[in-house]
Amino acid sequence: MERVAGEVVGAFPPDGGIYAVTFRIDSVDQDPRFPYLAIGYTTEADAAASAVQASDSWEARWSYAFFPRTGLEGIRSVGRDPEGTELYRREAESRGLWYEDDDEPDDRDERLVEWFYEVCVAAARHLHDSGRIVEALGRPVPVILYDMFDPDSMFRLTSHANPAELVTEFMTEDPS
């Protein structure tokens, strides 16, 4: 995940006004055994265009409801490819989290989701710690992590994935 995230960010337009990298966490048919990550970005021009429809500047800039296709669908999905799917399954099996369709998942569904969140947060942290974001974009920008099926997780995941100074504005809407 870290390797591919670095490749994707490295292919972003270097001077495109990007103010955030986006990580949309999803799964095939909402099955936590088949998660993937759509990596993308949003730009200052996107936020300005969204401001016309949004209720306020925070929503225009940070709400995934207003992200452009590059931020919502991403540039590339990680985990839907055969190699990523197989690596994920093997690791889930080694952790005792995998189950088959005819098995009772117990709490493994929730544990799989939380584990994938951890993987995504680690990939985002790696983009910062390795300097890949600065190398690709010329400056540090936050990575916004969101799961449209669990919107409450957005602030927790994003705060764990970024240096605090990069998410100060984003965190102003954190309900907790």
Task: Identify the domain containing residue 21 by its residue range.
Answer: 2-171
Beta strands 143-146 and 18-27, pairing class: parallel
Asked whether residue 41 is assigned to any structural domain, the reply reads yes
- Output the average pLDDT for the chain: 95
Q: Outline where 36-107 has alpha helix (H).
A: 44-50, 57-62, 69-72, 82-94
Q: How confident is the model at residue 135 (pLDDT cuts 50, 70, 90)?
A: very high
pLDDT digits (tens, 9 = 90+) for 58-115: 999 999 999 999 999 999 999 888 888 899 999 999 999 999 999 999 999 999 999 9
Residues found in the chain:
176
| Tokens 């591919």 sit on residue | 4
Asked whether residue 176 is assigned to any structural domain, the reply reads no
How many domains, in total, are found in the chain? Answer: 1
Asked whether residue 20 is assigned to any structural domain, the reply reads yes
Regarding pTM above 0.75, the answer is: yes
**CA–CA gap between residue 37 and residue 89 (Å, rounded):** 15
Name residues whose C-beta falls within 8 Å of residue 118's C-beta, 6 or more positions apart in sequence: none
- Mean pLDDT score, 132-142: 97
